[in-house]
Structure 1
Amino acid sequence: MKKYDALIIGSGQAGTPLAVKLAKAGWRTALVEKRWIGGTCVNDGCTPSKALLSSGRRAYLARTAGALGVNLPSPEIDIEKVIARKDAIVSTKRTGAEKWVNSLPNLEVIIGTATFTGEKKVSIVLANGEMEEAEGDFVFINTGATPAIPTLQGLDTVPYLTSTTIMDLKEIPQHLIILGAGYIALEFGQLYRRLGSCVTILEKSADLLHKEDDDVAREIRAILEEDGIVFHTRATITNLSSPTPGKIEIDLTVNGTTQHLSGSHLLVASGRVPNLAALKPEQGNMALTANGFIKTNDQLETSVKGVYALGDVKEGPAFTHISYNDYLIVAQNVLNHANLSIRNRPVPYCMFIDPELGRIGMTEKEARANGRRVKIAKLKMNRVARGIETGETRGLMKAVVDDDTHQILGASILAPGGGEIMSVLQMAMIGNIPYDQIRDMIFAHPTFSESLNNLFMTLDNP
């Protein structure tokens, strides 16, 4: 059995930099990866999906350029070139990550599938079929998550796509039906609508995006419906079938009314589950949460001392930047004996529809549920100078402010570059800058961030 100071399983946005950090600190480190270095984000998550979304936006801009006096022919989508560009970007980033981890002393990269055989001990089935065993004084798990496949009548009999496989599809669906209306579903829905597909989204809940405020969710739905996406909420699927190749048939009820829907392709986008099937953490004596994730404390240590879980394999916000922050916290704690914690850390995130949603802190409904006395600042993008000048007036800016302290509690920015504008408010929140200081601050004109002046002026002139 090979023995290491640190055994890292999974090379995602926490595992890869942690392996490098520990190796550089002199730890004898093994990084076990069953697939590709870089994890989901680089290989079939953030990097490829945002590359594809960029192609969709270019098509949208070409179609709408006439409103700005630029008359262009209707764009023709070369889907094979779109996919090839995406693949080239992914390959470059993956290759760079591979060179990085393979260039370091003290770091051994093992391509294979790990399974726990005891506390801090694993067996690894290598790519060539051979097996070896390893153990670490410290073990770090960063195996991520995978698309969840719901149990639906007939789903196992029809060809369906996931958020992973759809990114290799070298045809534009005539009619794409999407199960689920979360962030992934909405991003892909808008993408394929812009590439030329008819798109129908089925959601079992009454509304979209229950984690967002109702007014923000309604605005997002209105934008996507304006783009031509059809939504069916309160939708329950009773049967799926594929009578002929290239045809998906769905029986469902919508608001209690029986309906039938036909499409050419089906995307299952109903959430993600932790990648634990092969790992078998229970054999390593680790406790799991009720939802099947690895259970950790606020310092990301599992129920086994010296074993940590980072990123999407643990319960909590499933974002790449959270995985990376997990790495920063754990590295400081194990190397420098710091006492850092994930408790109360800010969780910014974006949904990369267009316009983009940037989110930080509390929503209005969360703040009110917590008994806060709040004021709500809201500004529609059709009142923003930069939006009017660029012809991008869809969306809104919203901020939740504590009425007693004037501190910003949260923000929802649905706007071009919404994530960038949100980041300005995140820094203000971290720096305890009150809303009235931002209201009176000098921003460069004309920028989207400058409209934060106007956003907070609405609190003085409701």
Structure 2
Amino acid sequence: MEFDAIVVGAGQAGPALAFRLAASGRRVAMIERGPAGGTCVNTGCTPTKTLVASARVAHLARRAADFGVTLPGEVGIDWPKVRARMEAVVARSRDGLTKSLGSTEGITFIRGHARFTAPHEMEVNGERHAAPWIFLDVGAHAVAPPVPGLETVPWLDNARLLQIEAVPRHLAILGGSYIGLEFAQVFRRFGAEVTIIETSPRLIAREDPEISEAIHDMLAAEGIVSHLGARVAAVARDGEGVLLRLEGGPEIRASHLLVAAGRRPNTDDLGLEAAGIARDARGAILVDDALRTDVPGVWALGECNGRGAFTHTTWNDYEIVAANLLDGEQRRVTDRLPCYALFTDPPLGRVGMTEAEARQAGHRLLVGRRPMTRVNRAVEKGETTGLMKAVVDADSHRILGAAILGTDGDEAVHGMLDLMQAGVPYTTLQRTVHIHPTVSELIPTMLGELQPG
């Protein structure tokens, strides 16, 4: 069939773009081989943050006495109910999107695996489809590191972990980065013994050392064991569980093994060679600042282009492409600031450069820090873990980066993000009156106490 546009992948960018193109009067083919909603809705943000919420309730219930609240009996976990709640939240998003894609005028929703047969032609279920515009939003998947014996054990990725029938007795996690740490805390709070194995000398090693250390200490306080600078020499079955042998270290016997050691774009089976579309060594489709591939009329959005691994960056990819094609704008990927969060409890909100990155880039620095023990709202909530930090260019007074690890840190950091996007000096925020008592009100105070870094 002939269309005005083909969109491959019903993740975060694809459907929004399909709806926008259809609203402009174009005939659009929306192709998806799996559940609508992509990773975020089905195996990423939506289910995991639902689990984080359940785990937080359990954690606070166990701390009830700290707040003068008494509860009858021991706090327990009903995993089938926890999982059912998670699946209901996922289904609400997925099913609503599926219905919209199937009922929107101008969109033909095609289920199946799409492969290029030519630069502007694709085959799905043995049928040929062509369009002058093709948009790829095919996402990525978890990959396993080259660990001897890993192929012999039933290891889990983030998707399969969500489908387990019971809370693990002992969950071992390969990878001490964002996905691994969120699952570590969740399942520890659900009652599992949890062990993290990380090859770097620090957890989430891209962060500044004090942030990594604070997160390590936070997880350790909950009983999570981390082996840092450790490598797995071999993995083997151990009855119904898994045995991990560390190089020069102990043996770890676990009931379940989660591999959270990286992801690879879903581009190996798209037939990109037939279209002449180039990829890098990791499999990411090469794009320019407007997300165009090297084939005119073909764009790549989301995780598959290597320009961002988050739902919010994928959505921004949609906004950039739609604005440039349909609104006559000239938006670029490089206009956006890097920002993300680690959704442990408390969370980490991050924007811009770390102190190490800013120093390496040659900036003369002013640095501000404030522990959450000196934030009244955190003290009142009984959640004083963490700190806030800002890195400022000493010459321009522009904020280069910020991190807030602490209660509501994932929300409070947006004030810094907005100021950075506006390109105004830190004094604008320093002199702004914030509401008391909040976490955000201490950001101007911290900025007023900047020291040469």
**What's the TM-score once normalised by structure 2's chain length?**
0.97
Q: Distance in 2 between matches of 1:258 and 1:335?
A: 58
Corresponding residue to 2:251 among 260, 265, 283:
260
Q: Distance in 2 between matches of 1:61 and 1:203?
A: 28
Question: After superposition, where does 1:94-113 map in structure 2 within 5 Å?
Answer: 94-113=94-113
Task: Confirm or deny: 8 A CA contact 1:347 1:360 kept in the other structure.
Answer: yes
**Tell me, what secondary structure is at the counterpart of 1:328?**
helix
- 1:183 and 2:183 equivalent? no
Corresponding residue to 2:244 among 250, 266, 280:
250
Q: Distance in 1 between matches of 2:46 and 2:124?
A: 28
Task: Confirm or deny: 8 A CA contact 1:161 1:266 kept in the other structure.
Answer: yes
Query: Which deviates more, 314-323 or 95-104?
Result: 95-104
Question: After superposition, where does 1:114-125 map in structure 2 within 5 Å?
Answer: 114-125=114-125
Q: Distance in 1 between matches of 2:45 and 2:249?
A: 37
- 1:418 and 2:409 equivalent? yes
Q: CA deviation at 1:95?
A: 1.3
Task: Confirm or deny: 8 A CA contact 2:167 2:190 kept in the other structure.
Answer: yes
Q: CA deviation at 1:437?
A: 3.1
Task: Confirm or deny: 8 A CA contact 1:9 1:32 kept in the other structure.
Answer: yes
The CA deviation string for residues 207-240 of structure 1, in whole angstroms up to 9 with x for no partner, is 2212211111111111111111101112111211
Which residue of structure 2 aligns with residue 169 of structure 1? 164
Q: Distance in 1 between matches of 2:428 and 2:304?
A: 40
Task: Confirm or deny: 8 A CA contact 2:370 2:387 kept in the other structure.
Answer: yes
Report the residue type matching 1:196 in the other structure.
Answer: G
Which residue of structure 2 aligns with residue 195 of structure 1? 190
Q: CA deviation at 1:33?
A: 0.3
Corresponding residue to 2:131 among 130, 136, 158:
136
Question: After superposition, where does 1:236-247 map in structure 2 within 5 Å?
Answer: 236-245=231-240, 247=241
State percent identity of aligned pairs: 41
Question: After superposition, where does 1:28-107 map in structure 2 within 5 Å?
Answer: 28-72=27-71, 73-107=73-107
Report the residue type matching 1:448 in the other structure.
Answer: V
Q: CA deviation at 1:302?
A: 0.6
* Count of aligned pairs between the two proteins: 452
**Tell me, what secondary structure is at the counterpart of 2:420?**
helix
The CA deviation string for residues 40-63 of structure 1, in whole angstroms up to 9 with x for no partner, is 111111101100110011111111
Q: CA deviation at 1:347?
A: 2.0
Q: Distance in 2 between matches of 1:240 and 1:460?
A: 48
Report the residue type matching 1:78 in the other structure.
Answer: D
**Tell me, what secondary structure is at the counterpart of 2:162?**
helix
Q: Distance in 2 between matches of 1:74 and 1:406?
A: 52
Query: Which deviates more, 370-379 or 425-434?
Result: 425-434
The CA deviation string for residues 371-410 of structure 1, in whole angstroms up to 9 with x for no partner, is 1111110000001111111101000000001112222111
Task: Confirm or deny: 8 A CA contact 1:360 1:411 kept in the other structure.
Answer: yes
Task: Confirm or deny: 8 A CA contact 2:265 2:282 kept in the other structure.
Answer: no
Task: Confirm or deny: 8 A CA contact 2:345 2:407 kept in the other structure.
Answer: yes
Which residue of structure 2 aligns with residue 443 of structure 1? 434
Task: Supply the RMSD in Å over aligned alpha carbons.
Answer: 1.4
- 1:455 and 2:441 equivalent? no
Q: CA deviation at 1:315?
A: 1.1
Report the residue type matching 1:99 in the other structure.
Answer: K
Report the residue type matching 2:69 in the other structure.
Answer: V
Q: CA deviation at 1:282?
A: 1.9
Which residue of structure 1 aligns with residue 330 of structure 2? 339
The CA deviation string for residues 279-303 of structure 1, in whole angstroms up to 9 with x for no partner, is 1312221001122211111110111
Change in CA separation of 1:334 and 1:297 when aligned onto 2, cut-off 3 Å: same
Q: Distance in 2 between matches of 1:362 and 1:276?
A: 30
Report the residue type matching 1:187 in the other structure.
Answer: E
Q: CA deviation at 1:348?
A: 1.6
Q: Distance in 2 between matches of 1:38 and 1:371?
A: 41
Corresponding residue to 1:229 among 199, 224, 230:
224
Task: Confirm or deny: 8 A CA contact 1:441 1:453 kept in the other structure.
Answer: yes
Change in CA separation of 1:307 and 1:420 when aligned onto 2, cut-off 3 Å: same
Change in CA separation of 1:64 and 1:189 when aligned onto 2, cut-off 3 Å: same
Q: CA deviation at 1:443?
A: 1.0
- 1:208 and 2:203 equivalent? yes
Change in CA separation of 1:102 and 1:447 when aligned onto 2, cut-off 3 Å: same
**Tell me, what secondary structure is at the counterpart of 2:279?**
coil
Gaps of 5+ in 2: none
The CA deviation string for residues 154-196 of structure 1, in whole angstroms up to 9 with x for no partner, is 1111111111111121211111000011100000000000000
**Tell me, what secondary structure is at the counterpart of 2:323?**
helix
Report the residue type matching 1:42 in the other structure.
Answer: V
Task: Confirm or deny: 8 A CA contact 1:379 1:458 kept in the other structure.
Answer: no
Which residue of structure 1 aligns with residue 10 of structure 2? 11
The CA deviation string for residues 119-176 of structure 1, in whole angstroms up to 9 with x for no partner, is 1211112xxxxx2111111000000001112222111111111111111212111110
Corresponding residue to 1:375 among 366, 371, 384:
366
Task: Confirm or deny: 8 A CA contact 2:12 2:314 kept in the other structure.
Answer: yes
Q: Distance in 1 between matches of 2:321 and 2:136?
A: 12
Q: CA deviation at 1:243?
A: 3.4
Q: CA deviation at 1:461?
A: 11
Which residue of structure 1 aligns with residue 150 of structure 2? 155
Q: Distance in 2 between matches of 1:322 and 1:282?
A: 26
Q: Distance in 1 between matches of 2:347 and 2:26?
A: 42
Task: Confirm or deny: 8 A CA contact 1:113 1:278 kept in the other structure.
Answer: no
Report the residue type matching 1:363 in the other structure.
Answer: T
**Tell me, what secondary structure is at the counterpart of 2:285?**
coil
